[in-house]
Structure 1
């Protein structure tokens, strides 16, 4: 845990996206939406062996993610991805977003906090969601050359310790802030550990309560 920081420290509120503000992962469904069902499954077949190697712990999650990016994003125009991301956001906002999560973002903004998403999903895909929420965005960056994606990442996958490093690169010493954080997976552990006010699976609570009642 960081020290509380100065008494009058500005609040920095950081939200993971997939599974935290959303009901489930957003990137793979985006790929299916953008490329179409046939093309999507045709390309996913190429990931069968890497997927098996991941399950056997022969490659890491980051290595599998890199292969997913190469399979779908090599040679694709950035402008096309941006257009598809806008369409995806517009068509799927209501079914994808957790209402309690969206409300929490609004409350943090209303309190005067600095608010940002910090996600392992590509920033290019999440930008329309950040814009609609009215907050900043830190995400995994895809390499672009002459307006075309190369299929490689710029920097590291934005998860685990890299979330903290990316926040520090943007905001400076996190000890100067009162850090609040929301996350839901192992990839958020370092972020949550760095926060004075940490929320793990905070927006999942109602679902868990309903499950207990059914028992």
Structure 2
């Protein structure tokens, strides 16, 4: 079926999956011991974030810098491919797969809009004809710098990125799927919304 006037926008972490994928990905690439060592060093920032005294994107940069600064982007993508094959399938909500397959059968154009990096999502998402709008990491000379490129794809930035990527006037049917307050700006663009739908 031709995919023309139907659009579905999905959050990924916690909506399609049973929880966050960034921390499991760090543990997968660095090992649990190295993850714990880094988490201890980052704990003051984690505590500040937990009491809303430190922004989400800054904490994310701290994690990216700690665990991935200096890594070749090609190595990150290789880890992402393996994580998507070995770990991610066990984190996917079965009801989400049912809904995704149904939307594909109805001719929906599918997008994942996520604050995570696409390296460990795209290899899985391509199996379902998803396109991805995600947080980008800065890369110089093939190496990860530890900084976010542009803005973290969360909250209002999700809405902004969708509007840059798509002309929503071209879609008669727009359905959105999310599970946190950070998805509400994205869901505001949709004619039909489903909040925590696969639990």
TM-score normalised according to structure 1 size: 0.86
Equivalent residue for 2:132? 137
Q: Does 1:175 align with 2:164?
A: no
> Greater share of helix residues, 1 or 2?
1
Equivalent residue for 2:37? 42
Inter-partner Cα distance in structure 1 for 2:189 and 2:123: 27
The 10-residue stretch of structure 1 (23-32 or 163-172) with the greater mean CA deviation from structure 2:
163-172
Give RMSD over aligned pairs. Answer: 1.4
Equivalent residue for 1:104? 99
* Structure possessing the higher radius of gyration over alpha carbons: 1
Count of residue pairs the alignment pairs up: 195
SS of equivalent residue, structure 1 residue 195? coil
TM-score normalised according to structure 2 size: 0.93
2, 5, 9: which one pairs with 1:10?
5
Kindly indicate whether the alpha-carbon contact (under 8 Å) linking 1:124 and 1:141 is maintained by their aligned counterparts in 2: no
Where do 4+ consecutive residues of structure 1 move more than 3 Å? none
Equivalent residue for 2:119? 124
- Which ranges of structure 2 fall in alignment gaps of 5 or more residues? none
What is the CA-CA distance between 1:176 and the residue it aligns to? Answer: 3.0
What is the CA-CA distance between 1:106 and the residue it aligns to? Answer: 1.5
